[in-house]
Amino acid sequence: MATLTNRDIVRVLVLVVAFLGTISGRVDAEMAALVPKPMKGEFAHGAVTLNDSTRIIHEGDATKTEAEMLATLLRPATGLPLKVEPMPSPAGKLGNVIVLTIDSALGRDLGNEGYRLEVPTTPIIRIAAAAPAGLFYGGQTLRQLLPSAIFDATKQSGVKWEVPCCRIEDKPRFPWRGLLLDEGRHFFGMKFVEHYIDLLAAHKLNVLHWHLTEDQGWRIEIKKYPKLTEIGSWRDQTEGDGKRYGGFHTQNEIREVVAYAAARHVTIVPEIEMPGHSLGALTAYPQFSCTGGPFKVRTRWGVEDDVYCAGNDATFDFVGDILDEVLTLFPSTFIHIGGDECPKTRWKTCPKCQARIKAEGLKNEHELQSYFIRRIEDRLGAKGRRLIGWDEILEGGLPPRATVMSWRGMGGATAAAQSGHDYVATPTSHCYLDFPLKTIGVEKAYSFEPIPTTLTTLQQAHCLGVQGNMWTERTPTAADIDRQTWPRLCALAEVGWTPKELRNPSDFQTRLESHIRRLQKMGVKIKVPGKTN
Ligand code: ACM
Ligand code: ZN
């Protein structure tokens, strides 16, 4: 055998180092492939492996529910028993455990949604938080630290359920991290909505803005007005295709979805559109329009001229009654009342609307819209709720306590904040998930900054957060929605959660490659992002 020269040895060493480099590079990428990226994270060598004897221990008030939720999320793919138990007293030797602890002192730095996750080499994984939401998000991070197979709905054999050693401290940048799902244009049903709630929670998104009423369909059972769903939830066809479309959620189903969401720290904000986008309702109850109808649930996309009559007090009783039932179903502080794209055509020629303008000393139909929204805000405010509406509610004067959802760019956000109102940023330029990927690529969505530079520090505090909007005119199936929503919503989730200074597009793209495997395991029909999207 030939003797090795020094040069040969150096060559071999270089190869070995390069090989190890690839391995550790891959492991680092896996370890760091958290989406959204946490505020602080340190990784060390070593890992803790979940096994048959791993238990989930809860310590402190209100932690049992979170421990059970974590077990529910980790059991299907692992097939492990993951028994949930209270902290023994005295604690003694715990063995292989995940410990969830409420520690109110953490609230000062991490708030209610923040958490600390520690995975030392001892097999004790600790998640501590000031409140249950933080424990839940610590659990979501733990899930992402496991192999991506953890996201599969069925038992995965031959996987080592390793969690890399780390210490993570994390909290969200904004309190509102949302997705709008439009069931007005197409109806998808309970199971789909629950699946989307799972997906939101896995991305630490916490608001499902549920768009439930439209010109093209009414989707929520209202006991006092049964025709809303009997008549208003079906349209004869779409753009001349000759097929009937429809469906609605019963109140029992809605209660179930709301509870399902709450258990995953997702708040459902219902949207009941007014005064425009209301032809579904007006087809069922035409007496609340300006002309009296008759109407048909709209069979074309676009905006309908027939809207609620703002001159008729009975209209306010009608929408007020609807909202009263909505409030019994949805405990959310915010109630979205739409307010967008309300043509003033009918109001201009309606004697009742014109009489209202005169009687109230309003300047024009824009002020009549403000009057409408203000009456609704009074009603919601009296019940301890907050009104949120699209940025058109600024036109003709913003009601005193209203929150603005800025969609036509960020002008509405700026105007709201400058006049002391809260806003949620969801401009078409970055947040409209129904727009083609060619128009809003993943990088573009990722580049979104929800706080305009023109705002003072005080005004910046009015930014509640960010939301992606999934309008469904052109996405009739669940797979269509998946392809539009992901991975752009991952980008917006990071905009909403991660400190601005930590956002880095190329690092995000790298993490996204691993993250897409998780989405696929969750059953998402996802388009893998190329360089151009
Ligand atoms: C909207 O896109 N009409 C809010
Ligand atoms: Zn009218």
Contact 394, 420 (CB under 8 A): no
Q: What is the pLDDT of residue 148?
A: 96
Domain shared by 135 and 208, yes or no = no
Work out how many domains the chain is built from and give that number: 2
**Per-residue confidence of the chain (533 residues) as pLDDT tens digits?**
445 555 455 455 444 444 443 334 334 444 469 999 999 999 999 999 999 999 999 997 789 999 999 999 999 999 999 999 999 988 788 999 999 999 999 999 999 999 999 999 898 999 999 999 999 999 999 999 999 999 999 999 999 999 999 999 999 999 999 999 999 999 999 999 999 999 999 999 999 999 999 999 999 999 999 999 999 999 999 999 999 999 999 999 999 999 999 999 999 999 999 999 999 999 999 999 999 999 999 999 999 999 999 999 999 999 999 999 999 999 999 999 999 999 999 999 999 999 999 999 999 999 999 999 999 999 999 999 999 999 999 999 999 899 999 999 999 999 999 999 999 999 999 999 999 999 999 999 999 999 999 999 999 999 999 999 999 999 999 999 999 999 999 999 999 999 999 999 999 999 999 999 999 999 999 866 553 43
Q: What is the pLDDT of residue 92?
A: 80
The reply to whether ligand 1 has any atom less than 6 angstroms from the CB of 435 is no
Whose Cα sits closest to atom 3 in ligand 1? 340
**Does residue 533 sit in helix, strand or coil?**
coil
Domain shared by 273 and 376, yes or no = yes
The pTM score is 0.94
Name the strand (E) or helix (H) holding 284. helix 279-284
Domain shared by 146 and 239, yes or no = no
The reply to whether ligand 1 has any atom less than 6 angstroms from the CB of 473 is no
Candidates 390, 405, 472: which one to mutate for ligand 1, based on the most atoms within 8 Å of Cβ? 390
The reply to whether ligand 1 has any atom less than 6 angstroms from the CB of 340 is yes
Q: What is the pLDDT of residue 529?
A: 56
Query: Which of ligand 1's atoms lies nearest the C-alpha of 432?
Result: 2
Domain shared by 209 and 81, yes or no = no
Name the strand (E) or helix (H) holding 270. strand 267-274
In a domain, 104, yes or no: yes
Query: What are the two backbone dihedrals, phi and then psi, of residue 203, each rounded to the nearest 5 degrees?
Result: -105, 10
Domain shared by 131 and 184, yes or no = no
In a domain, 20, yes or no: no
- Burial 342-381, CB ≥16 within 10 A → b, else e: bebebbeebeebeebbeeeebeebbbbbbbbbbbbbebbb
Q: Specify the CATH number for the domain of residue 487.
A: 3.20.20.80
In a domain, 8, yes or no: no
Amino acid of residue 405: M
Q: How far is the CA of 408 from the centre of ligand 1 (A)?
A: 8
Q: Specify the CATH number for the domain of residue 127.
A: 3.30.379.10
Q: Which domain holds residue 52?
A: 31-170
In a domain, 368, yes or no: yes
Domain shared by 307 and 191, yes or no = yes
Query: Which of ligand 1's atoms lies nearest the C-alpha of 390?
Result: 4
Domain shared by 165 and 209, yes or no = no
In a domain, 306, yes or no: yes
Q: How far is the CA of 181 from the centre of ligand 1 (A)?
A: 12
Query: Which of ligand 1's atoms lies nearest the C-alpha of 471?
Result: 2
The reply to whether ligand 1 has any atom less than 6 angstroms from the CB of 288 is no
Domain shared by 363 and 409, yes or no = yes
Query: Which of ligand 1's atoms lies nearest the C-alpha of 469?
Result: 2
The reply to whether ligand 1 has any atom less than 6 angstroms from the CB of 407 is yes
Query: Which of ligand 1's atoms lies nearest the C-alpha of 277?
Result: 3
